[in-house]
Amino acid sequence: MSGKMTNTFLRELGNRLKRLRTTERGNIAVIFAIALVPLMTGLGAAVDYSRANATKEAVQAALDSALLAGAKDGSSTWTSLAASVFTSNLTAREFAVPTPAFTKIDNIVYAGSVTASVPTALLGIIGVKSVGVTAYGQATAAEADNSCILTLDKGQPKSHVSLSLNGAPVVNLSGCSIRSNTSLDCNGHDGNLTKSYGAGSVAGCGKPTSNAPVVPDTFADLAKNISTECGVARPGVTWTPGSLPLGAGIKTVNKTGYIEYHICGDLTLSGSGYLTGSAPATDVVIIVENGNVIVADKASISTARTAIVLTGDNNWPATVQFPNGNGKQAALTLSPPTTVGNPWQAVSLYLDPKLTRDVNNKWGPGAALNADGLVYLGNSNVVTDGNTASANSRCTKFVMNNFVTNGSVRLDFTQQNCAGLGLKQWDGIVVHLVK
């Protein structure tokens, strides 16, 4: 109720009481007037406490905005910025609200509290001149995602463990972390982790952060750039470095700024050296339709400026197969497209997110997958006894549904030059309220 309406109400009430006192039934008027006191008190309490609650909500919203701004700023002057944001959000108030008391807890939580007095409109009749309201809040800054290994664990509760480092892996990360959208467990790692994030719990890992924000699957949208040429045909091809396959199993399409090779069925890689014979003069995208990428025994294959994309109609397996068994070994070293504007820039290996059938990977002790850029296997559960690493110590990001290591696996990753490579990552919900 506004001040003008309140004054009008009180004036009209006074006029009616005055008329009642002049009537022949003066005693009844007096009794009625006395009865109005508790009635007015109840009415006043309802009106004034309603105003107080509305004010509390406005003050709390202003404080939350102030804390979010302060946490995002994070500088030594964050309290000044927070106070300014708070004040600007309450400029339309009919009364002054004091500046909140701001503080930082454990150097990561930005907290604030404020108490204001809301003047009453009707309770003043019985001597209650104001109603106090209090607001309190906390905010924290969530780091952007710079993980070298990220497990999405789609559809699982946060308690589910989707990233497990078993055995005695040798973990060397430079400028990056490991991260799970559920929970992670470092059962046997050597402890050389920069940071370990889990949306659920983090067990046995270096520098752990539990209850971290869930990272959205930002790379799934790349699938819109996939085109197909093979139809239902899938004769497959074998590609030896320096010799482009021939026949019905491969189709060439020239795109603006890059070349697409569509492989109809399985792509088998054998021999040693650059797949294209040398570093190509333009970007290359190899699209494997309705088939696997099979790395032959003793093969040592390298790519440059090349993305390998697995797609299809979901009726055939779509995996990366390394040789398994005693004495068998192979290496696949990937380096992605680099041209700005190419939708596959910084992508080395990509599994079409529409593929869900037979997409899990198991890489044996003799497998070595070295990659710069993005390796996206978002629907794949990967178990490895082999080694994975960055190709040229530039920038590597492995994204999969689940990731498990066994034995003495080496994980050597870096994110020293992601900006130069053109790898775009989720930059995070920069700040969020925690209380």
**pLDDT tens digit sequence for 177-215:** 999 999 999 886 655 667 899 999 999 888 888 988 899
Average pLDDT of the segment spanning 111-126: 76
pLDDT at residue 230, rounded to an integer:
97
Residue 322 has pLDDT above 70, yes or no: yes
What are the residue ranges of helices labelled H in 22-75?
A: 26-73
Cβ within 8 Å of residue 301, ≥6 positions away: 241, 269, 271, 272, 273, 275, 295, 330, 331, 332, 333
* CA separation for the pair 13, 9 (Å, rounded): 6
- The overall average pLDDT reported for the chain is 85
**pLDDT tens digit sequence for 210-237:** 988 899 999 999 999 999 999 999 999 9
Q: For residue 156, which amino acid is it?
A: Q
Cβ within 8 Å of residue 132, ≥6 positions away: 115, 116, 117, 118
Residue 23 has pLDDT above 60, yes or no: no
pLDDT at residue 124, rounded to an integer:
58
Element (H, E) at 200: none
CB 31 within 8 A of CB 17: no
CB 149 within 8 A of CB 179: yes
pLDDT at residue 125, rounded to an integer:
62
pLDDT at residue 352, rounded to an integer:
98
**pLDDT tens digit sequence for 339-395:** 999 999 999 999 999 999 999 999 989 999 999 999 999 999 999 998 888 887 678
Q: Which two tokens stand for residue 162?
A: 């989707």
pLDDT at residue 285, rounded to an integer:
98
pLDDT at residue 22, rounded to an integer:
56
Q: For residue 96, which amino acid is it?
A: A
Residue 264: pLDDT band with limits 50, 70, 90? very high
Place of tokens 């007096």: 30
Q: Which two tokens stand for residue 153?
A: 């664990």
Q: Which two tokens stand for residue 420?
A: 């130069």
Share of the chain above pLDDT 90, in %: 54
**pLDDT tens digit sequence for 274-309:** 999 888 889 999 999 999 999 999 999 999 999 999
